[in-house]
Structure formats: C-alpha cells, structure tokens
Amino acid sequence: MISEPELVGGTEYPAALEPLPAERGPRGPRRPWLWALGGAAAASAVWGAGLVAYERTGPDGPDFKGYRAEDEPCRKAALPGLSSAFGPKGEATNPMILDHPGLFRAECTVTLAAEPVPYRLSVTYTLHRVTDPRPEFEARMNDPFRGIGDRVSGSGELAYLRDEGATGDMTLSVLDGQAVVELALTPELVYEGDQPPKEPPPLDPAATRTYLLEDANALLAALRSTA
C-alpha cells in the first residue's frame, strides 16, 4: 500500500528533546503544539514496553475513540459481505508493521476464493497517534496522480471510493477520528501453462460498494473492541 509522510506541514519529531528552560515571569498561553511534544516524550520513555502507552486521551492528547494498535487487521476483518459475494476468506499474509510514537500502521492481504478468478483484498489500518489525519486524508483522496476518489456515505466520518472499472478493482478508504482503514479489492491473475490469464467476470459496482462499506464498518467496530 502507499505510504506517505505522516506530518504534512506539521511539527517533526526532534532527534532528542532538550529540557525546557526555567520559566521567567508569568506563564503565557499554552502553545497548541506542546501536547505533541509531550506525547513524544512520554512515548520515548516507554519505547518497547508496549503499544498502548502512546494511545492517551484527554486534554493532553487526541481522542482515539477506543481505537488501539492492532497488528493483525486481517484477523479482525470478518468480511461477511465480501465473502458472500467473492467466496470464503482465506489465510492472511503476515502483516507488515510500522510502530512509531507518531504513527501505527499494519498492512496485510487475504484471498477470497471466487470462481473462476480469486480476488485479493489488501487491508491497511493506520492509527495516527499525534496529528489530526483529516487534512492529509482529504488531500490524498483528491490526488489526481492516484486517481480522485468519490465521496461516499455510510462509514466512518469520511469515506472515499476509487472504482477502477468492471474488473472489480475497487478501493474504499475510511477516516474515523484518528483511525484510517483502507480495503483494496482486486482480481488475481491465474495462469495455466501457456494460456493467457483467466478474465474475472463483470461485477455489479453498486453491490461491491455495499459489501465494502458493510465490511469496513464491521472492521472499524472490531478495531474499537478490546477482544
């Protein structure tokens, strides 16, 4: 999946945090970015001690709405809608993990045993631990180099769908608070000897979009669960 810089136009993490100088005179208004540096310092103090330490809520950090780091989003994704249309959910690939004080991301892939051509579903779960992901998310969804997505309703706070045509290549990206989930569906090429790969059957885009939205909602609910 595409990975882009997390802090677009925002504050970068310093290589090391220097002690703040002693205050002189009355304290001025609190700068809005101090909670970001405070979050980085707290995270560095417990680096390697677990994932939950970064996920603080309240006035000193963003509200995660119950979302937590989950290194196996494909296991959390039951996919009842897509499985009913594209065949049973197969084994998931080993997830690729990015675990940083400012960002957590897990990517994995599952196969749906459709006939005559199986489909591959790529699942990406990103939890933004410091910055507001909405400005970057909206910019990515309107990037002409990636293909501008269509705004859709029915999942999260903001959702976009990219439809590559009747072959079934379709990507749903959902923003909900600090969490972003992306489901990318594409047919797999199956070669048999010297024969050209089998062609996937024409799909109903409206039905596929409904399945993606339903399964994205189920995954978001599972990611908010502590189970």
Q: Is 127 domain-assigned?
A: yes
pLDDT digits (tens, 9 = 90+) for 14-34: 433 344 344 444 444 443 333
Structurally, the chain folds into a number of domains equal to 1
| Residue 193, domain CATH | 3.40.1000
Higher pLDDT: 164 or 70? It is 70
Q: Write down the mean pLDDT value for the chain.
A: 77
Query: What's the whole-number mean pLDDT along residues 198-210?
Result: 83
- The model's pTM is 0.71
Confidence of residue 227 (pLDDT cuts 50, 70, 90): low
Q: Is 38 domain-assigned?
A: no
Q: Which domain holds residue 96?
A: 73-224
Asked whether the beta carbons of 103 and 122 are under 8 A apart, the reply is: no
Q: Is 117 domain-assigned?
A: yes
Residue 41 scores a pLDDT above 70: no
Please tell me the chain's helix, strand, coil percentages from 3-state DSSP, rounded to the nearest 5: 25, 25, 50
